[in-house]
Amino acid sequence: MTERDIDNLYTQLEATMLKVKPNNELKRSMSSLSSNSTISSSSSSNTSIINEDLDHIYSTNLNCSCQYWLVSNDSEHCGLCDQAIPFIQQQHEDKISSQEKELALNNQLAQKQALYNLYVKDIQILQAQHGKRQELLENMTNKIDSLNGDIEIVQLKHKDEIAHTIAIEQSKKLVEIELHDLTQKLFEEANSMVLVEKKEKLAIQLKHDEVNDQLKEVESQLTSVQAELKELRKDMTNQDSNSQQLSPQSFSAFISTHENYLLRAQLDMSTLLLDQSQPIEINQEYNQQVQDDAMITEFEQFRESIRSISLSKLYTTSFMKSCLKTDIEPCLRFGPNPKLSSKKILDAILVKTCLVEPCPPGFIQAPTKADSIKVKTRLWDRFSSSSSSSSSHDTPGCQACGRVLDENESWRFRISYFDEWSYIDKYCHDRIASVIEFYVFIRKLKAGTDKDSSKFQLYQECSRLRLQMFLSR
């Protein structure tokens, strides 16, 4: 029996069963059977053939008894003899197996569909992650490119720094060589300067000894002159009141006999020691005799040039150099062991920060033991070891020369607004005050407030101030 025969037989059986049921139910069952038959058959063309045969059977054999020989669609027994039909049993078994397969396939399909949905979701998630990773990759690529560019720049800079370091090392070596040469030359020059200094020191020592001898000689001359003045004073007191004053001619003759400058200065100092009731008249003729045209010319040149230069460059002029060397610096030397630097005082006077004033009452007090130690350390060891006895604790000494102060004739000074007041005696005060007065005159010359005075009058004033500095020391 071929497959075609089986299909025909099956078609006939279906047509017989459809006679028992209504047409619509028959059609529904036949369509399910036809779908089952399509599953078991090898081709889909049989279904169309069965449908055509059923239509033909429905139209021609609706009243045939073969359509009632099955009790129901699920029955395996004949409706006429109630015996099992092997073919129908086989068909039912095939149908059940096909349904089971279909159910299994549907379950598998549902599982596959769920798995597919999961895969779709995973794919979407992976695509989103892929997009993010792609963006991160692009950003990272851009950063890598930027870093590569920076690395190239840093490498170029590194090469430049290496070249610069090499150049610096070479320069350092050259500087070390030059420093070594300069150090060697410096030591050589220092040795030569030490030798020159020794020679100069020896020459200065010889000159000092010579000047010391001259000083002793002048002191002896001064002693003799003072003795002569005492005798002259005794003679003048015995004369009449009309002859008490020294005539200009005799005074001129007296001056002419002492042409030595130091001797004339000694005479001036001795004259100051005379009684104030015995004035010495100096006439105009004497004033004309002592004029020095060269000095007046130098002073006039200084007067014209001082207005165009600053006070810091004041000592570049020859006139001020001479005044500084012969009058100012000697006036600011406070004895053989000075306690103050003349340069500091001179700088303070130049900038107008040196202040000198009388000590107010009660300013000088006996220092305590701690204060005496402080004075020793801060004021250049004012008191020597010999004078550090009980007398030094009673009255403080002059902080310029170290002499014991007289409370009635004491002054105080400072060279800066931030310094403390220091004690000085009358003699040191006269020295500093004379220098301050001289610089006040110099400032007037620079300011141009001397237009009403002649050059000779200004020169006389300058000479008076210089003589005052000389006499104060």
Q: What is the 3-state secondary structure (H, E, C) of 227-285?
A: HHHHHHHHHHHHCCCCCCCCCHHHHHHHHHCCCCHHHHHHHHHHHHCCCCCCCCCCCHH
Do the domain assignments include residue 73?
yes
Model confidence at 26, pLDDT cuts 50, 70, 90, reads very low
Do the domain assignments include residue 266?
no
111-126 pLDDT, tens digit per residue, is 999 999 999 999 999 9
Helix axes 261-272, 455-472, angle to 10 degrees: 80
Percent of the chain's residues with pLDDT above 90: 22
- The more confidently predicted of residues 368 and 173 is 173
Write the DSSP symbol of residue 327.
Answer: I
C-alpha dihedral over 110, 111, 115, 121, to 10 degrees? 40
In three-state secondary structure terms, 309 is: coil
- The more confidently predicted of residues 213 and 391 is 213
pLDDT(469) > 70 = yes
pLDDT score recorded for residue 250: 41
pLDDT(154) > 90 = yes
- The more confidently predicted of residues 25 and 173 is 173
Query: What length does the chain have?
Result: 473
Do the domain assignments include residue 344?
yes
- The more confidently predicted of residues 78 and 246 is 78
- The more confidently predicted of residues 70 and 189 is 189
Model confidence at 239, pLDDT cuts 50, 70, 90, reads low
pLDDT score recorded for residue 82: 67
Per the structure, the complete domain to which residue 464 belongs is given by 291-472
Query: Are 410 and 364 within 8 A, CB to CB?
Result: yes
pLDDT(305) > 70 = yes
d(CA 14, CA 27): 10
Do the domain assignments include residue 104?
yes
C-alpha dihedral over 236, 240, 244, 245, to 10 degrees? -140
- The more confidently predicted of residues 315 and 35 is 315
d(CA 358, CA 426): 10
pLDDT(129) > 50 = yes
Query: Are 19 and 72 within 8 A, CB to CB?
Result: no
Greatest mean pLDDT among 14-18, 144-148, 237-241, 279-283: 144-148
What is the residue type of 197?
E
Beta partners for 404?
Answer: 397
Query: Are 43 and 24 within 8 A, CB to CB?
Result: no
What is the residue type of 31?
S
- Please give the tally of structural domains in the chain: 2
pLDDT score recorded for residue 247: 44
Q: CB within 8 A of 465, min separation 6: which ones?
A: 434, 437, 438, 441
- The more confidently predicted of residues 338 and 229 is 229
Do the domain assignments include residue 112?
yes
pLDDT(52) > 90 = no
Q: Helix and strand tally (H, E) in the chain? A: 14, 3
Q: If you average pLDDT over residues 182-191, what whole number do you get?
A: 90
Q: Which residue has the tokens 């092997």?
A: 86
Model confidence at 395, pLDDT cuts 50, 70, 90, reads low
Do the domain assignments include residue 84?
yes
Q: In whole numbers, what is the pLDDT of the chain averaged over residues?
A: 73
Do the domain assignments include residue 425?
yes
Q: CB within 8 A of 317, min separation 6: which ones?
A: 302, 305, 306, 309
pLDDT score recorded for residue 416: 81
Tell which residue, 388, 397, 378, 396, has the closest CA to residue 334: 397
Model confidence at 386, pLDDT cuts 50, 70, 90, reads very low
pLDDT score recorded for residue 165: 93
The residue out of 90, 119, 148 marking a domain boundary is 119
pLDDT score recorded for residue 6: 66
pLDDT score recorded for residue 217: 85
Q: If you average pLDDT over residues 387-393, what whole number do you get?
A: 40
Do the domain assignments include residue 243?
no
The residue out of 98, 119, 140 marking a domain boundary is 119
One DSSP character per residue, 69-91 reads SBSSTT--BBTTT--B-HHHHHH
- The more confidently predicted of residues 192 and 270 is 192
Q: Which of 62-66, 73-77, 146-150, 333-337 has the lowest mean pLDDT?
A: 62-66
pLDDT score recorded for residue 299: 86
- Answer whether 0.75 is exceeded by the pTM: no
Model confidence at 139, pLDDT cuts 50, 70, 90, reads very high
- The more confidently predicted of residues 229 and 185 is 185
pLDDT score recorded for residue 137: 92
Model confidence at 281, pLDDT cuts 50, 70, 90, reads very low
Greatest mean pLDDT among 12-26, 267-281, 452-466: 452-466
One DSSP character per residue, 44-58 reads THHHHHHHHHHHHHH
Write the CA distances from 129 to 74, 117, 122, 319, integer angstroms: 56, 18, 10, 98
Q: If you average pLDDT over residues 55-74, what whole number do you get?
A: 56
Strand 410-414: give its sheet, edge to edge: 355-358, 410-414, 422-425
The residue out of 69, 98, 119 marking a domain boundary is 119
- The more confidently predicted of residues 222 and 362 is 222
pLDDT score recorded for residue 5: 65
Query: Are 401 and 383 within 8 A, CB to CB?
Result: no
Beta partners for 355?
Answer: 414
Tell which residue, 342, 311, 339, has the closest CA to residue 325: 342
pLDDT score recorded for residue 244: 44
d(CA 410, CA 393): 17
pLDDT score recorded for residue 195: 92
